Amino acid sequence: MENKSAQVNRIVQCAESLESGNINIYDFVTYLGEKNSSVLCIPDDKIQIITQAITRIEADNCSKGEKGALLEKITRAIFDNTIFSCVRNCRTSTNEIDLYVQWTEIARLTQLQIAFPYFGDSFLCECKNYGEPVGVTYVGKFCSLLLCSNVSLGVMISWNGVTGRGKWDASKGLIKKFALKENRYIVVLDKNDLKQLSRKETNIFSLIGNKVQALKLDIDYSTYLKSHPAESEFARSGEK
């Protein structure tokens, strides 16, 4: 592995090449995204955190409380960095972690939000510490929270995913119906997705982008929507 000085020198050389070739960062990053480039993968120090957390979660003696803390650790390793900033951390009476995530100033200056528009200006991320797939009731609450918070993307990190034998069944079906009706997207990252990220088989931009593109089609979902515990926080912030 290169030392820090060698890495910096390579970055400088890359930047100088971009400048001399009259290539803007938007075109460069868009190209990397289309190619699913490893350049966009999570940094090695964060990969180590995610890998160690996954190993511990899969241990037989890992308690439910510890698994919840480890999932939170994985979530922050993915989204709390020089590109994304977790600006709000909401905890309810259960074990889920609600994060309000937005682009950092560095990311905005390099126009990353334009290269990856499906993230919007900000998005919500929830970490579900369940021993089984997340059911329709909670997915409905998350749908309601997205509507209340006026964001177009919600990322749900659930070790065992969500319920549904097929893509139109149970929680999976509700997520698709919600996407069609509201043009808002709930992307679920399960243990297999997290392992892919830890092995650098994909990057978070391509992973979420591909899942957003897959969310299409229609049916009435409104009966599933129930109030989310954090909605009052967004309602109060909107009154200010």
pLDDT digits (tens, 9 = 90+) for 203-240: 898 899 889 988 865 544 445 556 666 666 666 666 55
100/30: higher pLDDT: 100
H or E stretch at 29: helix 25-34
Per-residue model confidence (pLDDT) at position 192: 95
pTM over 0.95: no
Q: pLDDT averaged over the chain?
A: 80
Q: DSSP strand E in 159-206: where? A: 185-189
Report the pLDDT averaged over residues 94-110: 77
Per-residue model confidence (pLDDT) at position 93: 47
pLDDT > 70? residue 1: no
Tens-digit pLDDT profile for residues 155-177: 999 999 999 988 788 999 999 99
Tens-digit pLDDT profile for residues 112-133: 888 889 999 999 999 888 789 9
Euclidean distance between CA atoms 132 and 19, whole angstroms: 50
What the block records as the tokens of 29 is: 């990053």
| CB contact at 8 A, 154 and 148 | no
Euclidean distance between CA atoms 196 and 208, whole angstroms: 13
Q: In what order do the strands lie in the sheet with 153-158?
A: 84-91, 97-103, 122-128, 153-158, 185-189
pLDDT > 60? residue 139: yes
pLDDT > 50? residue 80: yes
- In terms of Cα–Cα distance, which of 211, 174, 176, 175 is closest to 192? 211
Euclidean distance between CA atoms 113 and 121, whole angstroms: 7
Q: Which residue has the tokens 């009259």?
A: 22
